[in-house]
Amino acid sequence: MEKNVKKGNAFTNNPVVKMIGTQKIVVLGVIILLAIFFSILSPAFRQYSTVVSIFDYSYYVSLMAIGVTFALITGGVDLSIGTGTIAAGLVGGYVVGHFDLPVAVGMLVCIAFGLFLGVFNAISVAVLGLPPFIATLGSMMVARGLGSIMAGASSITWPQAGTPNGWFRSIFKINVGGNMIPIGFIIVIAIVIIMSIILNKTRPGRYIIAIGSNKEATRLSGINVVKWHSLAYLISGFFTGLAAIAYAATFQAVVPGTGAGLELDAIAGAIIGGTSMTGGAGTVGGTLLGVFVMSLLKTGLPFIGLQANWQQIITGIVLLIAVFVDILKNTKK
């Protein structure tokens, strides 16, 4: 006990470490270790195409996770992002396919649908004061049904690469002389930087953290908490729409009725990245790193020939450790 009293140590007091955050450095270390581990065990994992695939499958989860980080920081949660992503992808794809509209319109529809969900959640959580878990559990189910109905209850295929409308598939990946360049990664990094600035350096972000830290105190400071609390859910909804575009660009078909469970991957990523389930603490960069841990496990474990169900067990254990670290951090205070 006595020895721990000394505040911090050489590592945590290092200015670089302080700036990036201890947790993020640890998570980054985990990512590097995992990558080395998988590369040693599986030659196929070392291939460039595998790296591209890991990126491919991480975009939509990353986007969902960036959005839900804001809801988590307010001390709430948004469970509707998983089915919301699928529903937005269905509705957007349906509009393109059935009315023969440019794919850009479909993408706008995705974002509009995500925002619609965000408004729905904002009203129930921030305005009416429902518990976020229950409110977004409800909208999660609504989104699941609504997407299916609006898309005519059949699976939806977005335009294929190579067709006139297929250009959107190269938003996240371009083909240069047979080599796939995962430019989506750059886009995601850019979004992370923008959202980090919004969270840490602007009033909306500051107030979202304040609400998660102590909502009543924030209100008494004369801040319009309904407005900024709502904004967190709108951001979550907006990113649900973006995630839908990434999903449609990566996968062959969007199947109605699916999507439940995707939100848990995103939330798990945010938690691993250091976002606190009790609100007030969290970073967008940390979330991205957390998602990468999840993606690496998902993509890497099959490569080393691990039985499918072991993948789930290991991912679950990693999540438990992350939550445990979160609790340790809180009890120390």
Partner 1 sequence: MKRKVISALLCVALVGTMLVGCGSKKADESSNGGDAAGEAATGGEKIEIVSKGFQHQYWQAVKKGADQKAEELGVTINFVGPNSESDIADQVQMFQSAINQKPAALGLAALDTDALLDAISQAQSANIPIIGFDSGVPGAPDGAILANASTDNYAAGEMAAEEGYKAALGDRIKNADGPVRVGVMAQDATAESIINRGLGFIDKLGELVEADGKTISITGNEKYVGDSGIEDKKSEEGDVIVEVVVPSQVTNELSAVDCQTLLNKKDIICIYGSNQHSGEAMITGNANLDKFGEGDDKVIGIAFDSGENIKKAVKDKVFIGAITQAPVSMGETLVDLCVKAARGESVSDVDTGCQWYTSDNMDSEEISQNLYD
Partner 2 sequence: MGEVILTMKGIDKSFPGVHALDHVELEVKKGEVHALMGENGAGKSTLMKVLTGIYKKDEGTITYEGKEVEFTNPKEAQEAGVMIVHQELNMLSHLTVAQNIFIGREKMSGKIINDSQMNKAARELFDKLNIDIDPTEQMGNLTVGKQQMCEIAKAISHESKVIVFDEPTAALTESEIEELFKIIRDLREKQLGIVYISHRMDEIKVITNRVTVMRDGGYVGTIDTETSTKEDIINMMVGRVIYEDPKTASNVPSGAPVVLEVKDLNAGKMVKNVSFKLHKGEILGFSGLMGAGRTETARAIFGADPIDSGEIFINGKKVNIKSPSDAVQNGIGYLSEDRKRFGIAVEKTVAENSTMASLDHFMKGIFIDKKKEADVAKKYVEQLKTKTPSVEQLVVNLSGGNQQKVVIAKWLVRDCEILIFDEPTRGIDVGAKSEIYHLMNELVKMGKSIIMISSEMTEILRMSDRVVVMCEGRKTGEMSIEEASQETIMHAATRREG
Question: What's the CA gap between 312 and 318, in Å, rounded?
Answer: 10
For the bound state, the minimum distance from the C-beta of residue 148 to partner 1, rounded and expressed in Å, comes to 6
213 contact partners, CB below 8 Å, separation of at least 6: 279, 280
For the bound state, the minimum distance from the C-beta of residue 53 to partner 1, rounded and expressed in Å, comes to 5
How many other C-beta atoms are found inside a 10 Å radius of the C-beta of residue 97?
Answer: 18
Segment 4-10 long-range contacts (CB within 8 Å, at least 24 positions apart): none
- Out of 13, 47, 200, 202, the only residue in the binding site for partner 1 (CB under 8 A) is 47
For the bound state, the minimum distance from the C-beta of residue 221 to partner 2, rounded and expressed in Å, comes to 5
Residue 70 near residue 211, CB atoms below 8 Å: no
Q: In this chain, which stretch among 49-57, 123-131, 209-217, 323-331 interacts with partner 1, using CB under 8 A?
A: 49-57
202 contact partners, CB below 8 Å, separation of at least 6: none
Which of partner 2, partner 1, none does residue 52 bind to, with CB < 5 to 8 Å depending on kind?
partner 1
Which residue reads 């939100």 in tokens?
Answer: 263
Judged on CB neighbours under 10 Å (0-12, 13-18, 19+), 303 is middle
For the bound state, the minimum distance from the C-beta of residue 241 to partner 2, rounded and expressed in Å, comes to 24
For the bound state, the minimum distance from the C-beta of residue 331 to partner 2, rounded and expressed in Å, comes to 12
Helix axes of 225-250 and 203-213: crossing angle, nearest 10 degrees: 110
**Does residue 261 interact with partner 1 by CB under 8 A?**
yes
Question: What's the CA gap between 47 and 39, in Å, rounded?
Answer: 9
- Out of 12, 49, 221, 278, the only residue in the binding site for partner 1 (CB under 8 A) is 49
Q: Between 276 and 299, whose beta carbon lies closer to partner 1? A: 299
Q: Between 228 and 247, whose beta carbon lies closer to partner 2? A: 228
**Does residue 298 interact with partner 1 by CB under 8 A?**
yes
Q: Between 12 and 160, whose beta carbon lies closer to partner 1? A: 160
- Out of 119, 191, 258, 264, the only residue in the binding site for partner 1 (CB under 8 A) is 258
Question: What's the CA gap between 235 and 211, in Å, rounded?
Answer: 15
| Binding region for partner 1 (CB under 8 A) | 44, 47, 49-50, 52-53, 56-57, 144, 148, 153-155, 157, 160, 173, 178, 180, 250-253, 255-258, 261-262, 298-299, 302-303, 308-309, 311-312
